[in-house]
Amino acid sequence: MKKIILYFFLLLSIGCLTSCSPPPKPKHVDPFYNINLNEAPVRFPLIKPMEVVYVNSWYLDLPSRYILLDAVPNTEVLTYNVYDSFHGLENFAIENRIIMINSSGIDKKIDMHTPTPGNYYYWFVIDLNQEISKGFYTEAEFLEYIQMLGISAPNWQTPDEAYEQFKRTGCLKWIPDC
């Protein structure tokens, strides 16, 4: 009788251990979305070909076709603020293949001359449908523009929130097969 009870508890323990393990994360059809979370640097996918990466802070590098140039006003020589990445990414939202970004730590690369302080974009829209990107100085300008795209208000999330969800589930709402 003791052996039967021992076997019963052994089987019960094995059953609990196997049922308590987390479900396997999905393998996506497009390998771009199959990120190994054990590799450095820490990252998660947005919409192909863009991903958010963490090195001292969250950032997003822009593919060359989405790089923004903004002419700096009131300079003697034509000068541009070049936006080729967003460092210090605070919030982002994605809707209908449109990525909306709020970043206070833009990587401010300047062609030729010293920048004019306080003359930077902090709100961005990357429209993957039309393959264009736009920057805005104020939230009001940004909101007016996205309303023209049919977006009433962004559903903001932080990179930390998105990364934790991706780490837990392997899915984010914009990944095609999630």
Domain ranges of the chain: 26-169
> Computed from CA positions of residues 166, 170, 176, 178, in that sequence, does the dihedral angle turn out positive or negative?
negative
6 compared with 166, residue with greater pLDDT: 166
Whether pLDDT at 83 is above 50: yes
> pLDDT of 58-80, one tens digit each?
988 888 777 777 776 666 766 66
DSSP letter (8 states) at residue 70: E
The pLDDT of residue 74: 66
> pLDDT of 90-118, one tens digit each?
899 999 999 999 886 554 444 434 444 45
Residues in the chain: 178
Tokens 């070909």 -> residue:
49
The pLDDT of residue 115: 43
> pLDDT of 1-43, one tens digit each?
555 544 444 444 555 444 554 555 668 889 999 988 788 888 9
The pLDDT of residue 13: 53
> Computed from CA positions of residues 148, 151, 152, 157, in that sequence, does the dihedral angle turn out positive or negative?
negative
Whether pLDDT at 47 is above 70: yes
